[in-house]
């Protein structure tokens, strides 16, 4: 069952209630011209309607990342994340945004089996959420899948370098590209993914020098996370950036300290409840005098 409402300004059935139009795949792709991106692309993760509403005016792309496995569901990795989770959260983020392009991660096990499996999963995500693109992890090995999807109406964001869904093969979440062989592989992976038709590529956990090389040599915009300021844009997990977790990777910069603020607010509430200082006359219903 579809859970979204179309809100593009071009829909006759449901004209957009807001001015302007969502960012489109061609508009995002066109931000990089002749190997240069004048204005870096701003991407953040979002998993819920309210967070999408708050982030939307500041971003070009909202990514419904499978990092929701750890951030929302407390799972040990992204491996157990399901299509159902991605569809439910993807639909919520589309409902909470009107400006950003919304892209949804394809979860582990939903696309690697065959081209047909990848198409069925991606089509389901797009139908059930209303998102404009999907993201999948992997380099050269995934190029045929990206080609298959993009030729069938499904815009794809690639993801190279540290690919968290492969944590069991990689053995951890350390930065990639430390050896010459690994560095060369990251560059050839990014080129293969771009040649296959990806309109954007996330480069995660990559040595700065390699990320810069990828950004300079690959024609499509490269979005860095733990990569390089030379990338064509940046993405962070929003909850990391807002300071909701005490432990974060080295590449995260905290722009707020929400964990402390939430703890302090919950503490004040608890104190007032225990002291019967909440609710007061202002928060209770009384007969009108």
Site for ligand KIV, rule CB under 6 A: 45, 63, 65-67, 105, 202, 204, 225, 235, 237
Nearer residue to ligand KIV within complex by CB, 130 or 158: 158
How far apart CA 146 and CA 65 sit, in angstroms, is 18
Q: DSSP string covering 31-98, please? A: TEETTEESSPEEEEE--SHHHHHHHGGG-SEEEE-TTHHHHTT--SSSTT--HHHHHHHHHHHHHT-S
How far apart CA 283 and CA 211 sit, in angstroms, is 54
Nearer residue to ligand KIV within complex by CB, 56 or 105: 105
CB-nearest residue to ligand KIV: 65
Of the candidates 239, 240, 198, the residue with the CA atom closest to the CA atom of residue 222 = 198
How many other CB atoms are found less than 10 A from the CB of residue 109?
15
For residue 67, the minimal CB distance to ligand KIV (Å) is: 3
Nearer residue to ligand KIV within complex by CB, 7 or 207: 207
Catalytic residue numbers read: 204
Nearer residue to ligand KIV within complex by CB, 23 or 236: 236
5: DSSP letter: -
For residue 238, the minimal CB distance to ligand KIV (Å) is: 9
For residue 177, the minimal CB distance to ligand KIV (Å) is: 16
For residue 116, the minimal CB distance to ligand KIV (Å) is: 24
């Amino acid at each position: 069952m579809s859970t979204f409402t179309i809100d593009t300004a071009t829909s006759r059935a449901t004209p957009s209630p807001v001015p302007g139009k969502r960012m489109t795949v061609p508009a995002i792709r066109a931000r990089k011209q002749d190997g240069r991106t004048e204005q870096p692309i701003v991407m953040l993760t979002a998993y819920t309607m309210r967070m999408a509403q708050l982030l939307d005016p500041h971003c070009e792309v909202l990514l419904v990342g499978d990092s929701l496995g750890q951030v929302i569901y407390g799972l040990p990795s992204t491996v157990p994340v399901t299509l159902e989770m991605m569809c439910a959260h993807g639909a919520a983020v589309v409902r909470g945004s009107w400006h950003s392009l919304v892209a949804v991660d394809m979860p582990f096990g939903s696309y690697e089996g065959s081209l047909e499996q990848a198409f069925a999963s991606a089509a389901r995500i797009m139908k059930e959420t209303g998102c404009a693109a999907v993201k999948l992890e992997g380099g050269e090995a995934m190029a045929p899948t990206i080609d298959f999807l993009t030729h069938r109406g499904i815009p794809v964001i690639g993801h190279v370098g540290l690919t968290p869904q492969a944590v069991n093969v990689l053995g951890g979440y350390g930065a990639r590209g430390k050896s010459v062989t690994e560095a060369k592989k990251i560059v050839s992976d990014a080129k293969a993914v771009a040649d296959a038709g990806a309109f954007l590529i996330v480069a995660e956990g990559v040595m700065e020098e390699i990320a810069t090389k990828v950004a300079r040599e690959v024609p499509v915009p490269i979005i860095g996370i733990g990569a390089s300021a030379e990338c064509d844009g940046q993405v962070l997990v929003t909850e990391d950036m807002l300071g909701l977790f005490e432990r974060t990777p080295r590449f995260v910069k905290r722009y707020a300290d929400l964990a402390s603020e939430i703890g302090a607010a919950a503490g004040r509430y608890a104190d007032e409840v225990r002291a019967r200082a909440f609710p007061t006359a202002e928060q209770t219903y009384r007969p009108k005098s």
